[in-house]
Amino acid sequence: MNRIVERFAKLKQAGQKGFVAYIGAGDPNLDATRQLAIAFDRAGVDVLELGVPFSDPLADGVVNQLAAQRGLASGTTPRGVLDMVRKVRKESQIPIVLYVYFNLLHKRGVAEFINEVKDAGVDGLLVLDLPPEESDNYEQLMAEAGLCNIYLIAPTTPESRIELIAPRARGFIYYVSREGVTGMQAKISDTIGEMTAKIRAHTKLPIAVGFGVSNPEQARTVARNAEAVVVGSAIVNQIAEHGKNPELVATVERFVGELVKATKSA
């Protein structure tokens, strides 16, 4: 069974909420990313999202844009990310999703890219700029590889499109809780409960809510209306602040541990 599907099944059986952590691969370098992946597994992270560095990350705010720049500056490539995932798999079975822009799949060849990520031990892809209507045989290739194709739904998505998107997703639905790009926010959206209820009318998949969740209190609040909470920019910001510190991994692990604890206590 796919690791993402298996993890959410176990969470449901245990009556627990899931925690999804996002970091930029190669920030500050790929070995640090490998160590952080292992540390997040220890801290109780349920799914790890790895942003593959890209020169034009349209869906990302400043914090994650800078992480992508640092990843590119450290020499990180898609092939390097997959080699790092192979190393993680020697120590951990944490479910891993690649957060990626379609140009990287297009350049490699969609079928080739999917086969390579499967062989490396990746469990799913979140292709930020690939709408279902434009996906051609992407979903079929993902299904044949046993990988989860994760789709985004936004506050501005009309119900007719939710009805189209939700049945075609696998693993979980990523609900973007606010309009715009990724980033830390002082206040979470007050429409999360309404929107997750609307999405549930069209799917039995778990719903993970992200974009703007920045601290344990917000994570706990969001978890009450979702099966999982996604935190990215707040974690990436910690990496930016402590990237040159020998205690980077331990510091970020503590920060993430508090977010996990809050999510699980919802």
Q: Report the pLDDT value the prediction gives residue 186, as an integer from 0 to 100.
A: 52
Whole-angstrom distance, CA of residue 124 vs CA of residue 40:
18
- What is the average pLDDT value for the chain, to the nearest integer? 94
Whole-angstrom distance, CA of residue 150 vs CA of residue 120:
18
The DSSP secondary-structure symbol of 168 reads: G
* pLDDT tens track for 55-91: 988 878 889 999 999 999 999 999 999 999 999 999 9
Identity of the residue numbered 166: A
Q: Which domains does the chain have, with CATH numbers?
A: 3-264 (3.20.20.70)
Please identify every residue annotated as catalytic.
49, 60
Q: Tokens 């899931």 identify what position?
A: 18
Contacts of 245 (CB under 8 A, 6+ apart): 251
**Percentage of residues of the chain with pLDDT beyond 90:** 89
In which band, very low, low, confident or very high, does the pLDDT at 181 lie, cut at 50, 70 and 90? Answer: very low
Q: With 0-12 CB in 10 A as exposed, 13-18 as middle and 19+ as buried, what is 81?
A: buried
Q: With 0-12 CB in 10 A as exposed, 13-18 as middle and 19+ as buried, what is 222?
A: buried
Among 72-81, 176-185, 203-212, 253-262, name the one with the lowest average pLDDT: 176-185
Q: Report the pLDDT value the prediction gives residue 183, as an integer from 0 to 100.
A: 45
pTM for the model stands at 0.95
Strand partners, 231: 21
Q: Report the pLDDT value the prediction gives residue 60, as an integer from 0 to 100.
A: 81
Q: Tokens 């080739």 identify what position?
A: 112
